A = this chain, B = another copy of it.
């Protein structure tokens, strides 16, 4: 099995978080090289840059190059800027490959981010632009101890609270390690002095009793939850709950979802833009929208020693048009770019064809009320499950509001994504509702409507994001990023932060910096 197959299998089995974890271990790692705003000094030497794609990497490029004095023109396929920084609201319509069109019926104020949906505080480049462009940020609840861990193979399919599984896993790990330390089994790894500190730390961290046992107690209940919580007056005395035994915790497999919340990207605090990811698109649009030509489908890219010429189709008027510039920064996803005639050298051509794109389906569901808050005290956060939906994410906005609410009902990876998109959007939504009922029976009575975005059927990206392996990185990554004549690639696919907007931002900053250096040297 190669790494891509492994990733695909992990994605199908463990959901997006497990996939992200595995990607970390296999070489797709995330944080950022962003160190502060760039300043391209020395002037533009009268040059024009044509940018293909009005997503975040294209707009970062346009913003920084225009600030440095370059003439800039951006061609965007859609009637909307932002690319995958996309929010779907009530009234929005979109059409997938094959022609199926969905119109969102969400109530005002509700939305779903079908693409990226959260901003780690590690991602300083994107946060810098959000601050600069007036895009409000609010916390995204990644980890919610009141949300569920669910497996059809554990606890008879009954969801367990995240805090319960975590507390019991930590409790048993600490009890077991304490036992080994006291048996002197680790004397060659830990000095006697350190062993005392280790035992003290395990008691504190694992909520052990004074005999270093993880037992039913107020201390363990204050983490895993109570049989009866404490209160006031004469109904106040709390009743602790009974912990699960170590065998049950381990066999449940539900501990699989804990590690993913410890990575940089999923640590607290992380952000979301107020109003959805589309607010990022709108922020950039305020700055560079006047440079962007929409409804422009690129059909051919030709470079010569003197410049770059791009042919494109105006998808509204049907006109075939052409434009040219001294240089081109191309942010079109490789899955699409590989199908466009383009004269570049053989190493870049190979690189463009070397990166497959991840299939994925995200489904937004609207319900008559926020039953997850009202009935189950879940405010934001994510429930993980081994069902094909892989997770349910609750909205991190509008807490406590009384009207209809929207949650993310599915975020699939792997083969189930293809299976779902073989069906109509309505049927996908119906199946996701059926699966979700196993976790939230309220789906039966509260469901109103939904939208289902199959990313591999989105015409302008043909997949969620590019998937690199260690092998493909070694063979193709540098070639993909090099300036080829007058043509340069940028985008999340030209980064080590694949699948995150920060990859698009840092890739664009690297590309414009190198292009500018080239212009300075050539002048």
Contacts and interface: CB of A to CB of B under 8 A. Distances in A.
Contacts of A183: 185
Interface in A76-94: none
A447 interface: no
Interface string A152-177: 00000000000100110110011011
Contact of A207 (B185, B235, B259): B259
B137 A121 contact: no
A411 interface: no
A482 to B, nearest CB: 7
A12 interface: no
Interface stretch (A95-103, A221-229, A345-353, A357-365): A221-229
A89 B21 CA distance: 44
Interface residues of A, number: 114
B269 A29 contact: no
Contacts of A131: 400
A27 B240 CA distance: 11
Interface string A352-388: 0000000000000000000000000101110000000
Interface in A100-154: 121-122, 124, 127, 130-131, 136-139, 141-146
A504 B233 CA distance: 9
Contact of A232 (B121, B237, B507): B507
B24 A218 contact: yes
Given A130-B400, A138-B138, A169-B201, 19 more contacts: A27-B218, A32-B230, A33-B230, A131-B400, A139-B380, A170-B262, A173-B174, A176-B198, A179-B186, A185-B185, A190-B246, A201-B255, A222-B265, A223-B263, A230-B497, A231-B506, A232-B510, A233-B507, A237-B496
Interface of A: 21, 24-25, 27, 29-34, 121-122, 124, 127, 130-131, 136-139, 141-146, 163, 166-167, 169-170, 173-174, 176-177, 179-181, 183, 185-186, 189-191, 194, 197-198, 201-202, 204-205, 207, 218-219, 221-223, 225-226, 228-238, 246-247, 250-251, 253, 255-256, 258-259, 262-265, 267-269, 271, 377, 379-381, 396, 399-400, 477-478, 481-482, 490, 492, 494-497, 503-511, 514
- Give the 6 A-B CB pairs with smallest separation, nearest first: A233-B510, A232-B507, A33-B231, A31-B229, A232-B495, A232-B506
